[in-house]
Structures are given as structure tokens and as C-alpha cells.
Amino acid sequence: MAEQVKPKIDPSWYKALQKEFESTYFQELKHFLQQEKAAGKTIYPAGSEIFNAFNLCPLPQVKCVILGQDPYHGPNQAHGLCFSVRKGIKPPPSLVNIYKEINAGLGLPIPTHGELTGWARQGVLMLNAVLTVEASKPASHQNRGWENFTDSAIKAVSEQQERVVFMLWGRFARSKKQLIDAEKHLILEAAHPSPFSAHSGFFGCKHFALCNQYLAKNSREPIDWRL
């Protein structure tokens, strides 16, 4: 049998998720992605950036988890962090609404770019439930196994860390509540920041201020939400 190639993911996450990498479903997912690439399909994000959220935010450093559903499917957008796009790319509408809520809740200026790497480096796990997508085909890699993998990542944070803030926006993210120990962590729920739903409870949720209040109360460094 060929030697298993170790994934390019932070060692703390590899240790926590090793069983997932060795599972049958993950081997099938890996084979699916290889087949898609062999067929000439463009997959986002680039292979080296699939685990960006984990590499920028090692497990022991996680203070806050923001959950998304699917990577952006347009060129030069997705780079492994939910809601984030590369500098030089116009911030998508949901991210603009996130910025508006931060501005309203904390008085911080609205950034001119959409790259959220600065948050990730401070301990914000920017996690999509599905980590890849085919170009121009939203949700094309759902139900291929990624959800099992990222559910295990959420459980790992819940079980191995203390006093983490989970921001669950929209019905899909809120369905992950059952994976989180509410006795150990703060769970914040609101509508999705999409223009279709932001006015139904995302605007005015004050999640970013509440996050920092909770972290400070528990002797953890608050997040600087400026970019």
C-alpha cells in the first residue's frame, strides 16, 4: 500500500482530525477532487489554500468561530476563509453587511478590502462547512464529505478549548449548535448577513461587541476587528 501523504495542515489540527483524514469518506472525497481536476475542472480555492482557515488559526489559539457554508465560486475570490476575498477583489454583499454591523456596534471604520486574514491570525476560525467548490457552480461539492470533516473540527474546538465564541448566522450555521457545548462556550445566533436576510436580525445583533466582552470577562485578549 502506498504511504499516506500527510495533508498540509497545522499540526494541532492534524492531531485533532487525524481520524477524519484516515477515514473512508475522506479518501473518497480526496479521490473525487482528484477526478474533478483530472477532468479539467477548475476548483476553488487553490489546493494549497483549502486548509487556510486551520493554518492561520491553530486549534490552541481559537477564540472565536465564524461559520460559512460554501466557498465563493468566482475567480480570485475564495482563499480558504469564509466570507473573505483577496485584496483587490470587491467585498461581496454579505461581507459588506458584516462590516456595517461592526461599524454600528463598535464604531470602527468600514474596510476598503475584503481579506480577513488579520482576524484569522488573532484566533478567529473562519470556517466554511464545505471547503471546495467547482468554478461557477455554487454548492457543487456539498454532500461529498466535507461536512463530516468540518463538523469534527467544530466538535474539536468545543471539546478541547475553553470559552470560545461561536457566531452562527442563518439557518444552516445555526444547525451546528448541537455540536457545541453551551456550558463551556458562548453561542451567538442571528440571521445571515446576506442582503436577503440581514434586516431580519443580523443588523443590530451586536455579535462583535458581545464577543469581545465575553473574551475580556474570561481573561482572553479581545479581537481587534479592524483590518
Single-letter code of the amino acid located at 74: G
Question: Which residues lie below 8 Å from residue 3, measured CB to CB, with a gap of 6+?
Answer: none
Residue for grid cell 453551551: 182
Instruction: Give yes or no: 10 in active site.
Output: no
Residue 226 CA to residue 13 CA, distance in Å, equals 27
Q: Hunting for cell 473573505 — which residue is that?
A: 84
Q: Provide the grid cell at 39.
A: 477532468
Q: At what angle do helices 146-160 and 11-21 cross, to 10 degrees?
A: 130
What's the CA gap between 115 and 89, in Å, rounded?
A: 9
- Please identify which of the residues 70, 151, 181, 224 carries the catalytic annotation: 70
Q: Which residues are catalytic?
A: 70
